[in-house]
Structure 1
Amino acid sequence: MIRNIATGVQSFTSNAFLVAGDQRVLVDTGANFDAVGEIRTHVDDLDAVVLTHTHPDHVGNLESVKDAFDVQSFGFDTDHPGVDVGIEDEETVALGDDDYLALHTPGHKNDHLCFYSKSAGILFAGDLIFQNGSFGRTDLEEGDRETLIESIDRVGATVDEDLLEMHTGHGPSVTTNPYHDIELAGKAARMY
C-alpha cells in the first residue's frame, strides 16, 4: 500500500508517501503539516524515512517524524544534517514489500535519488519528472539543465515500458502509462 499523507494539505509542501508492508517507510516527509499525525492514522510504527532529496519542502517534517518514531533517515548526502545513513547509487532499498533500485539523478539537486522497483512496476521520481512531461526546475542552487536531462534519460533507460505507477514529488501520481510521461519529460527538458 502506498498512500500520499500530504494529500489535501494547503501549505508549501512536497508529497510524502507512506509505503506500508514488511518495511513501513516514509518517502520524503513534506513540510508544514502534521506528518506524524497523518502517519499514525494509517500505521502504528515506522521503520525508516527515505529521502529523494533534501530541499526544505521535502524534509521540513523530518525531525518531528524521526523523533516520534525513533527512526533513521536514509538519503544520498550524509553531509546534510538530517541524513543519518547514506544510500549509494544503484543500491537496493526495501520499501514496503518490494526492493527498489536507488538511482542517483542530479540536475534538480545534487543529492537527488529516484527509486524503481521492476517487480512492483513502481517509480518514486521525486522532483525529477512529473505528470504530463513536466520536469524539475533547474534555477535553484545545484540545478543544472544538462545534468537533469541526463538523469531523465537514465531513468527512461532503466525503467520498463510496463511501469504501472510513478509517484512524484509534487502533483498527482501517474497511474496511466507513466513511461510516456518520462519520455515527454525528456523531450520537454530539451525544448524549454
Structure 2
Amino acid sequence: MITNLARGVQAFTSNAFLVEGDRTVLVDTGANFDAVERVRDRGADLDAVVLTHTHHDHIGNLDAVTEAFGVETWGFDTDHPAVENAIADEETVRLGDHAYTALHTPGHKNDHLCFHTSAASVLFAGDLIFQNGSFGRTDLEEGDRDRLVESIDRVRERTDETLSEMYVGHGPSVTTDPYHDVELAARAARMG
C-alpha cells in the first residue's frame, strides 16, 4: 500500500510516500508538516527513508523522522549530510513488497533518483516528471535541461504502456495511463 502522507498539507512541501509491506519505507519526508505523527497515525513500523533527491522540500522532515523511528536514510549522494547510505544507479531497492530499480536521473538535481518496478508496474518519479507532462525545474542550482531530457528519455525507455501508477514529487499521483504523461514530458522538455 502506498499513501501520500503530505496529502492535504497547505504548507510548501513535497509529497511523502509511505510504502507499506515487507520493508516499510518513506520515499521522501516532505517539509513543514508533522510527518512523524502521520506515520504513527498509519500504525506503520518504518524500516528506512529513501530519497529521490535532497532539495529541502523533500528532506525538511528528515531529522524528525529518523530520530523518531531510529531509521537510516538512503539516497544517491553520501557526500550530502542527509544521506547515510548510497543507492547506486541500477541498484535494486526494496520498497514495500516489491523490488525497484533505482535510476539515476539528473537534470533537476544531480543526485536525483527515480524508482521503477515492472512487477507492480509502479514508478516513483520524484521531481523529474509530473502529471500532464510537466517536468522538473532546471533553473535551480544543478539544474540542466539537456540532462533532464536525457533522464526523462531514460525513464521512457524503461517503462511502457503497462505502467499503471506514477507517484510524483508534487501534485497528484497519476493512475490513468501514466506512460502517456511520461511521453508528454519527454516532448515538452525539448521545447523551450
Quote the residue 2:170 is aligned against. 170
1 CA distance for matches of 2:92 and 2:153? 20
> Sequence identity, in percent?
71
2:61 equivalent in structure 1: 61
Unaligned runs of 5+ in 2: none
Which one-letter code corresponds to 2:65 in the other structure? V
Q: Secondary structure at the match of 2:123?
A: strand
By how many angstroms is 1:161 displaced?
Answer: 1.8
Aligned to 1:46: 46
Following superposition, the deviation at residue 168 of structure 1 comes to 0.1
Task: Quote the Cα distance in structure 2 between the aligned partners of 1:26 and 1:160.
Answer: 26
Query: Are the equivalent residues in 2 in contact too, given 1:118–1:160 (CA < 8 A)?
Result: no
Deviation sequence 1:90-127 (CA, Å, 0-9, x none): 00000000000000000000000000000000000000
Compared with structure 1, are the counterparts of its residues 3 and 44 closer, same or farther at alpha carbon in structure 2 (3 Å cutoff)?
A: closer
Where 2:138 maps in the other structure, the secondary structure is: coil
How many residue pairs align between the two structures?
Answer: 192
Query: Are residues 5 and 139 of structure 1, via their aligned partners in 2, closer, same or farther at CA, if it must alter by over 3 Å?
Result: same
Q: Which whole-Å CA distance do the structure 1 matches of 2:43 and 2:101 have between them?
A: 25
CA contact under 8 A between 2:31 and 2:60: conserved in structure 1? yes
Moved more, 98-107 or 159-168: 159-168
**Equivalence for 1:120:** 120
> Residues 24-103 of structure 1 correspond to what in structure 2 (within 5 A)?
24-103=24-103
State the distance in 1 between where 2:105 and 2:44 align.
32
What is the aligned partner in structure 1 of residue 143 from structure 2?
143
Q: Which amino acid in the other structure matches residue 34 of structure 2?
A: D
- Whether the 8 Å contact between 2:28 and 2:50 is mirrored in structure 1 is yes
- In 1, Cα distance between equivalents of 2:114 and 2:189: 17
Residue in 2 that maps onto 1:190: 190
1:149-168 → structure 2 map (5 Å cutoff)? 149-168=149-168
Instruction: Give RMSD over aligned pairs.
Output: 0.5
